[in-house]
Amino acid sequence: MSIPFFKPDYGAEEQKRVTEALSSLGDPAAEAKSMLSKTYGEAIFLTASATAAFELLFATLGLERGGEVVMPSFTYPSCANAILRAGLKPVFAEIDARTKTLDLNKLSAVLNANTRAVVPMHYGAASVDMDALKARVGGALLIEDAALSFGARYRGTPLGAVGDMGVLSFHRTKNISADEGGLLVFSEKHRELAKKARTLYDNGTDRAAFLRGEVSAYTWRAAGVNVAMGRLNAALLCAQLGRSADILHRHRQIYLRYLENLSGAAKNRGFELPVIPDDNENNFELFYILLESETARDKVQAHLKEKGIGSAFHYMALHASAMGHSLGYAPGDLPVTESVCGRLLRLPLFAGMTIEQCDLVSQAVKEALCRI
């Protein structure tokens, strides 16, 4: 038996789209943007990665150097790297053990007059109470790290489009994949910032105005960047977006089967299953178990590996890393984050996964727990 941790759901439609792109047929980036604009509005930018989207965003914002940006330590380094490169300071905040999102009750300890932005990371479909967060941040920008959240919603609004700006990922491990890619979303009230982003996105030129026929030639206007999504990635994304309802439906079937298989064991053996707040609509992006200890997590993963089953930790606490230490943090500063990082194990979940495979993984988890 061999069950991978994840496998992108690429098939005939993806092959067709990529072949067309190789033949220079059509404009897949424009088509993908048009498809996404129906959900996220017109002020959006397809990027080479979610990392590139964060880089473009902070270059556009031009926040005063030395300002602070509050974010969880429980996330990937992309956002923190972009913050540092913009001359800003990442300030790590504690998470809620239940939802794995920012803990509102502990947020006031890290907010101050120098806070320029707050970046909640949505753990799949689980988000902090965004309305309550908006009320807390004052004049600071609310930037959503929705890298894991395509297809998820908060009170009916797509995650990534609730705050001032949002970033999503189309990496190959995500439910909807361009192999690599990202999306930067600006809310309607920030259309002027989106215009600035357009110039930077076009390598600092007024190319967009040229394409609209407003100028006879495009010229260099600002220190821009080259972060646009490539043709082949956009072609893959078009195919995936066209099949997104089916892909998310198949994710849902596996996710619900895990819940059915493991709910009893979770109660009896003292581990936790994913929690999606009532205000959120699930996109079934990921499934994890939170074991009682790091030792238990490691033993379960080792047993799965013996069975040929892929699994993965998720984030390693940023504040407890070498870079975190250089920023003045140390292990023990955010105990909930460290505990979650040490005990969380993600199980296989992908569109091509069968119910039979899900049952085998579930049984292997139960076997491992019986050995602990």
List all residues 6 or more positions away from 147 whose beta carbon is below 8 Å from its beta carbon: 50, 76, 78, 121, 167, 168, 169, 171, 174, 182
pLDDT the model gives residue 17: 97
pLDDT the model gives residue 238: 98
CA–CA dist 51, 319 (Å, integer)? 19
pLDDT the model gives residue 210: 83
Over range 165-178, report the average pLDDT: 98
pLDDT the model gives residue 213: 81
Averaged confidence pLDDT in the chain: 96
Question: pLDDT tens, 49-77?
Answer: 999 999 999 999 999 999 999 999 999 99
**Three-state secondary structure of the chain:** CCECCCCCCCCHHHHHHHHHHHCCCCCHHHHHHHHHHHHHCCCEEEECCHHHHHHHHHHHHCCCCCCEEEEECCCCCHHHHHHHHCCCEEEEECECCCCCCECHHHHHHCCCCCEEEECCECECCECCCHHHHHHHHCCCEEEEECCCCCCCEECCEECCCCCCEEEEECCCCCCCCCCCCEEEEECHHHHHHHHHHHHHHCCCECHHHHHCCCCCCCCECCCCCCCECCHHHHHHHHHHHHCHHHHHHHHHHHHHHHHHHHHHHHHHHCCECCCCCCCEECCCCCCEEECCCHHHHHHHHHHHHHCCECCECCCCCHHHCHHHHHCCCCCCCCHHHHHHHHHEEECCCCCCCCHHHHHHHHHHHHHHHHHC
Res 1 pLDDT > 80? no
pLDDT the model gives residue 24: 87
C-alpha torsion sign, points 46, 47, 49, 54? negative
Retrieve residue 143's tokens. 């930037």
pTM score: 0.96
C-beta atoms surrounding 135 within 10 Å: 10
Q: How large a percentage of the chain has pLDDT more than 70? A: 100
β 115-118/141-145 pair status: parallel
Task: Tell me the domains of the chain and their CATH numbers.
Answer: 12-242 (3.40.640.10), 244-371 (3.90.1150.10)
Among candidate residues 290, 363, 259, 328, the one with its CA nearest the CA of residue 73 = 328
Question: pLDDT tens, 259-293?
Answer: 999 999 999 999 999 999 999 999 999 999 999 99
Cα angle 348, 350, 353; round to 5: 85
CA–CA dist 362, 266 (Å, integer)? 11
Res 122 pLDDT > 80? yes
pLDDT the model gives residue 57: 98
Torsion of Cα atoms, 155 then 161 then 165 then 170, to 10°: 120
